[in-house]
A and B are shown apart, each in its own frame.
Chain A
Amino acid sequence: MKLPAGAPGAKVLAFGHYQPANVVTNDDLSKIIETNDEWIQSRVGIKERRFAAPEESEIDLAVQAGGKALAAGGLAAADIDLVIVATCTLETQIPNAAGRVAHRLGIDAPGAYDVNAACAGFCYALASASDAIRAGSARNVLIVGTEKFTQWVDIQDRATSVIFADGAGAAVVVPSETAGIGPVVWGSAGDKADAITIKDRHSALHQEGQTVFRWATTALHPIAKQACERAGVDPAELAAFVPHQANLRIIESIARKLGADNAVVAKDIVLAGNTSAASIPLALSRMIERGEVPSGGLALLLGFGAGLTYAAQVIEIP
């Protein structure tokens, strides 16, 4: 037997994102359920979010985001040989999303699998893509985080329906001579699995808000710091901090404890809601599009969510 040489490193060549057209404001929601703009903004920091149309699937969202990432990176479908989709809101379990997304994008016969690490899914997929390239298992990888929460959330449950939303973000990961994607720090807390659940196929998403809030504001900043340490990066060197967009108060709490004093902190939740596995690439792609972060600067990504799962790594901004 012999093994391929692989690549010395991997990097993100480009990001892409897609949001459904339908903008839903807090005032819109207050006409359906008992809530109001002030309550939502003060508790979670969201002003508006996007809901996909009933006929627009999580696959449709992923295809849009993936196509944009490929175009932004200047790669053709034929250049991709592995597609990883991070999602936890597929309408059905079989078939997986990755094969369908690849086919719709004209990517011929790639490796194709889904990752379910909920809101940490994109960081898990990114680590897997980087490892596959470094091990020689893939040349160029398309990873997509896509979620359609509206098909798993009960609109009458205001503990979830004001928070969760639909969207997709994607990245093209390619070989690199230098380290463009740092080592991942990942883990889980299965003892808290009950904190975020969909009980059975007839149930909607349920979240123990206080439990998750306490965990997120106490357990995660050490993980963020560890990801910096393992990459040999001081938090003060970061140009961007892009945590999962769960709740503005969680984002601000972790950012404060991390000490990333020179970083632009992603606050995409304000206009996008919580889109789980899509939130990190969606936020960073939009920050790049608006010119808020420098190409070549370092960004710390931190995903965390149901499972409970978490993952963090430093990347070079394309």
Chain B
Amino acid sequence: MAVTEQEILAGLGKIINEITGIPASDVTPEKSFVDDLDIDSLSMVEIAVAAQDEFGAEIPDDQLKHLKTVKDVVNFIQG
């Protein structure tokens, strides 16, 4: 069974909290990584790598730069 949007969101919140210290509760779908969460490109790479370990979906660097919001990443992982 595929993981649900809620499960991915919860997983991402945990990952982002571990890497950046941002509270998991701030990680909501409409948030922009750069503008709202102040996450830089290197942290995005760390988040992408951790998300790959967690959900099995590889996010290559050339795709990563197009994923602007939390929702974009959730959609990418869901395929």
Decide: B49 and A217 in contact? CB cutoff 8 A.
yes
Chain B contact-residue range equals under 10
A211 contacts B61, C-beta separation under 8 Å: yes
With most chain B CB atoms within 10 A of its CB, the pick from A210, A218, A249 is: A210
How far, in angstroms, from A218 to B59 measured CA to CA in the complex?
14
Query: Which of the 9-residue segments B6-14, B21-29, B38-46 touches chain A?
Result: B38-46
CB contacts (< 8 Å) of B64 on chain A: these are: 210
Q: Is A42 an interface residue (CB 8 A)?
A: yes
A interface size (C-beta, 8 A) = 11
Interface SS, B side: helix
Contact across chains for A43 and B40 when beta carbons are under 8 A apart: yes
Total of A-B residue pairs, C-beta within 8 Å: 23
Chain A neighbourhood of B49, CB < 8 A: 214, 217-218
User: Shortest beta-carbon distance, B5 to chain A, in Å?
Assistant: 26
Q: Establish whether residues A217 and B41, one from each chain, have CB atoms under 8 Å apart when the complex forms.
A: no
Asked whether any CB of chain B lies closer than 8 Å to the CB of A253, the reply is yes
Majority SS at the chain A contact face: helix
Bitwise, A177-216 to B at CB < 8 A (1) or not (0) is 0000000000000000000000000000000011101100
Are A210 and B61 in contact (CB-based, < 8 A)? Answer: yes
Cβ of B59 to closest chain A Cβ, rounded Å: 10
Residue B46 contacts which of A42, A209, A211, A253 (CB distance < 8 angstroms)? A253
Task: Name the CB-closest residue of A to B43.
Answer: A249
Q: How far is the CB of A163 from chain B (nearest CB, A)?
A: 12
Q: Could you say which residues of chain A place their CB within 8 Å of the CB of B48?
A: 214
Docked complex Cα distance between A214 and B45 (Å)? 6
Within 8 A of B (CB), among A48-104: none
- Chain A residues, CB < 8 A from B40: 42-43
CB of A1, distance to nearest CB on chain B (Å): 52
Residue in chain A with minimal CB distance to B44:
A210
CA A164 to CA B45, docked complex, whole Å: 21
Closest 6 A-B residue pairs measured CB to CB? A210-B61, A214-B45, A213-B45, A210-B45, A213-B42, A218-B49
Cβ contacts A to B, 7 pairs, < 8 Å: A42-B40, A210-B41, A213-B42, A214-B49, A214-B61, A217-B45, A217-B49
Q: Add 19 more A-B contacts to A43-B42, A210-B45, A214-B48 (CB < 8 A).
A: A42-B40, A43-B40, A209-B41, A209-B42, A210-B41, A210-B42, A210-B61, A210-B64, A211-B61, A213-B42, A213-B45, A214-B45, A214-B49, A214-B61, A217-B45, A217-B46, A217-B49, A218-B49, A249-B42
